[in-house]
Amino acid sequence: MNTSSFHLETKNLLLVSISMEYKEDIFREFTLEIATYMYPQPYEKIEDTIRFIQHSMKRNREGNNLQLVVLDRKDRSFLGCAGIHNIDTNTPEFGIWLKKSAHGNSYGKEAIFALNKWADENLNYEYLLYPVTEENSASKRIPELLGGIASREYDDTNMSGVLQHVIEYRIYPDKK
């Protein structure tokens, strides 16, 4: 499934396939503060962000990834990135980050809920993974609200070398 021209609207958001149009936004907004509880870490040079986007666009075309940007539906301003990785497997994985000024508006919940609904309608999967560090209580609420089950805990070192305790939630398909 080629996801390079993906478009999904929610009440407040527009989720679209990642593209070079957003390279400056991603480079500027994916900061150390935003990445505190994440495995990936910010790039020091815009060229690294460009390589990330190129790789993501390639994986979207190949149909094994759904890497998106999150935009404000009203003014199309950049809010962050979200996606479902490894969509060609039985256990795809959610990922999301939002810029600091977008926090506190339930945009993460809105984006993941919409992507979960899309996955139920378009993917054949056993369960969706939602890994989150134990300290990230705001992010932990999202899989819990979706009925996710904490299935595994492990320690992982992020790209900056920081050891984090991760709780991996499993979100099973809605059988309606």
Average pLDDT over residues 98-110: 95
| Count of domains for the chain | 1
Q: Which residues contact 93 (CB under 8 A, 6 or more apart)?
A: 84, 85, 86, 128, 129, 130, 131
* Residue 96: domain span: 7-126
Tell me the C-alpha to C-alpha distance, in Å, between residue 148 and each of 4, 91, 127. 28, 13, 9
**C-alpha span between 119 and 80 (Å, rounded):** 20
Establish if 1 belongs to a structural domain: no
Establish if 160 belongs to a structural domain: no
Establish if 18 belongs to a structural domain: yes
At 47-92, the pLDDT tens digits run 999 999 999 999 999 999 999 999 999 999 999 999 999 999 999 9
Closest Cα to residue 65, out of 42, 105, 31, 92? Answer: 92
User: Which CATH number fits the domain that encloses residue 101?
Assistant: 3.40.630.30
Task: Give the rounded percent of residues in the chain with a pLDDT score beyond 70.
Answer: 99
CB atoms within 10 A of CB 121: 9
Q: Select the more confidently predicted residue: 42 or 131.
A: 131
Tell me the C-alpha to C-alpha distance, in Å, between residue 151 and each of 62, 89, 120, 148, 171. 30, 18, 20, 9, 10
Establish if 170 belongs to a structural domain: no
Give pLDDT, residue 2. Answer: 79
Average pLDDT, the chain: 93
At 176, the pLDDT band (50, 70, 90 cuts) reads: low
For the entire predicted model, the pTM comes to 0.93
Establish if 169 belongs to a structural domain: no
At 137, the pLDDT band (50, 70, 90 cuts) reads: confident
Give pLDDT, residue 85. Answer: 96
Establish if 80 belongs to a structural domain: yes
Establish if 166 belongs to a structural domain: no
Establish if 162 belongs to a structural domain: no
Closest Cα to residue 132, out of 161, 98, 93? Answer: 93
The four Cα atoms 20, 22, 26, 28 give a dihedral, to 10 degrees, of: 110
